[in-house]
Amino acid sequence: MSINDFLTELRAHAEKPVRLLLPDGGWIPAHFHITEAGHVLKRFIDCGGTRRAQETCLLQTWVNDDVDHRLHADKLAVIFDQAGDVMPHHGLPVEIEYEDGVVAQFPVEGAEVIDGLLVFRCGWKHTDCLARGICLPGECCTLGSQCC
């Protein structure tokens, strides 16, 4: 889900509390805070030698002991408004960062209203070989291959 799509949902349901549904069916606790709204640019080289870049909007969540805290959609929209020029454009995909033993990032895949709550559904991030044409199973990491 892009920032544009995310903001459309927030503004259409401004009065609703926001909840974040993890891909395993669990929830980020309802009293979470958004502590960062950031533009993340990752520049890298894949195992086939191709230079690549990947950009996202990362919303960092934080859960404290103030269990009465609730973030409503209108407040989260204001956080985006305050981000201003931090986001180079609103076509960036939105990801949620959450710590529960380890820090993990989850792409936001959709939104729906459930029982008066604006629920954003998160998906899984996966690793992948981006140079499959070069790095085929059995050939990767062998002497003389172009793959690492």
pLDDT band for position 124 (50/70/90)? very high
> What pLDDT does residue 131 have?
87
Tell me the average pLDDT across 22-32: 98
Could you read off the pLDDT of 54-92 as tens digits, one per residue?
Answer: 999 999 999 999 999 999 999 999 999 998 889 999 999
What pLDDT digit, counting tens, does each position of 2-11 carry? 999 999 999 9
Q: Comparing C-alpha atoms, which of 30, 38, 76, 72 is closest to residue 57?
A: 38
Plot region of 86 (φ>0 → left; ψ -120 to 50 → alpha; else → beta) = alpha
Taking only the tens place, the pLDDT of each residue in 84-123 is: 889 999 999 999 999 999 999 999 999 999 999 999 999 9
Q: Is the pLDDT of residue 139 over 60?
A: no
User: Please, are residues 45 and 51 in contact by the beta-carbon 8 Å criterion?
Assistant: yes
- What pLDDT sits at residue 55? 98
pLDDT the model gives residue 84: 84
DSSP the chain: -BHHHHHHHHHHTTTSBEEEE-TTS-B--TTEEEEEEEEEEEEEE-TTS-EEEEEEEEEEEEE-S-TT---BHHHHHHHHHHHGGGSS-TTSBEEEEEESSSEEEEEEEEEEEETTEEEEEE-------S-TTT--TTTTTSTT-S--
pLDDT of residue 3: 97
Say what the pLDDT of residue 132 is: 82
